[in-house]
Amino acid sequence: MQTAQRILRGYRRRRLMVCIGLAVLALVLTLSARYVAERKVNEQHFLTFNQRIISTLENILTPLEEVNNALIPLVGLPCENAQFKMRENAARLQTVRTIGLIKDGILYCSSVFGSRNVPIHLLQPRLPSALPLLFLSIDRSLLKGTPILLSWVPLANSSNDGVMQIINIELLTGLILEPERPWVSRAVLNVADSHLEYGEGLLQRITIEDGQVSHEMASNRFAFSVTTIGPSPGALALSNLPTQLPLALILSMLIGYIAWLATANRMSFSWEINVGLASHEFEVFCQPLVSARNLQCVGVELLLRWNNPRQGWISPDVFIPLAEQQNLIAPLTRYVLDETVRHLDIFPKSCHFHIGLNVAASHFHEGEIITDLRSSWFPAHPLQKLTLELTERDALPDVDHRVVRDLHRMGVDLAIDDFGTGQSSLAYLETLNPNVLKIDKSFTAAIGTDAVNSTVTDIIIALAQRLEINLVAEGVETPQQAEYLRSHGVNVLQGYLYARPMPLSEFPRWLRGNTRPPRRRGHPVSVVPLR
């Protein structure tokens, strides 16, 4: 059996665990989403940086093709005839440092120096070439030792004649290869087998430090590529993640709070009771009442049992008070009433046979109990007498006395259960006008002892006899108690001496004379009564 405190603690613990779990999940998901988004932003920075460099260089190199078409016809002309045209094109391009005309492998005309007579291979070992070339090199004539980007276009069918254009790539480096921190730590221009890095000049090979990654993007129009080096997008996103923590914590706490509110009904004992009612987990038991004179069964008290598949057997002393706190005692009473009506045939069909049903005082408010009886009990036209038992521990003064009057007129008896154990007041006997007083088992157990309860038992019996109210003694367990009560005028007895609580299906067999304690699936059934 579970205790109320254990069940409530269990629900609160599970509810808290769910809310904490959702809050943690929200925190993890938020940080993960921010990490993924930040990583994508970092990757986009790399991509955008590379695209900007490539786009800029392509815009610089594209006009060179047009200029080459204009310069090719100048190869072979005297330098004094071609120089003006060469200077005009160099000035128009702006990024071009110098233009040279090569004839038979000799640089014979320069846009800067005019007429020259220098074997081109002495200045640039790769030239002349039968193929167009674009490569990085070192200037050996104008600004000696500075990096340059050289474009070579040979004449058709001639590997020793062509046009050479030198681009001032060092000047452009500061514009297009400057790192963009923290995403890009280094930027390198790759042309042929040479590499130009901002602030480092020409490199033979690219080295990457530990913890950094490289991203390379090639031009679709020209023979060059760009390599950017920096922290990995994931590592950079991870390093920025602490800045996202305050917002993520606020969001996770909000999710946890919303979950706490949302689970107030779902993960509560009231939800458990509603599930139990919907799934018919509750079972109605009955405990016979016998006549003290001839030991014939004159009625039953209906009791409720709950074999919860999630919690096990839950005592009525646990779930009834909790149901009262959650305002679910009326649905439980309706469940007992419906089950009783469904099994009316198992009870003796006699107006002298009483069926006792425990009812909370709150069920009397605004005539709710009368509405339920009219919708369930009276349409069945039972011959048996219905007795509604009000426990004295309830707030009996709150009972609507007009409802009590109407119940009497409808032929329903009222009983005060556990009389003398709660907030006793003789005014109850006047305002409620009960038909029956039920002597609590604690007074029955005191019979034959020197306890004060023994004297109180005699007082209750005398009071009931004086007011002509029927008496029922609960908790009769010994023949001595039964004899004492019978000799003092208590006409109806109830207790283990005669029968334990049993499922409704067991009652006909007991009534036929089988008094063995009922068993359920091989185990004795719990006998805690509904209160």
Confidence tier at 173 by pLDDT (50, 70, 90): confident
User: Which of 68-82, 312-326, 380-394, 410-424 has maximum average pLDDT?
Assistant: 68-82
155 to 76, 249, 278: CA distances (angstroms): 11, 69, 95
Q: Is the pLDDT of residue 474 over 90?
A: yes
**Residues 56, 176: Cα–Cα separation, whole Å:** 7
User: What is the pTM for the complete model shown?
Assistant: 0.55
pLDDT per position as a tens digit, 116-140: 999 999 999 999 999 999 999 888 8
Q: How many CA atoms lie within 13 A of 370 on its CB side?
A: 17
**Residues 221, 212: Cα–Cα separation, whole Å:** 29
**Residues 455, 447: Cα–Cα separation, whole Å:** 9
Confidence tier at 9 by pLDDT (50, 70, 90): low
What is the CB neighbour count within 10 angstroms for residue 214? 13
The residues near 25 (Cβ < 8 Å, ≥ 6 apart) are none
Nearest 5 degrees, angle CA 224-CA 86-CA 219? 10
Q: Is the pLDDT of residue 184 over 80?
A: yes
Q: Supply the CATH classification number for the domain 268-524.
A: 3.20.20.450
Torsion of CA 251, 255, 258, 263, to 10 degrees: -170
Task: Give domain limits for the chain.
Answer: 268-524
pLDDT per position as a tens digit, 280-292: 889 999 999 999 9
Residue type, 145: G
Q: Provide mean pLDDT across the span 308-337.
A: 83
Spacing of C-alpha 101 from chain mean position:
75
Confidence tier at 516 by pLDDT (50, 70, 90): very low
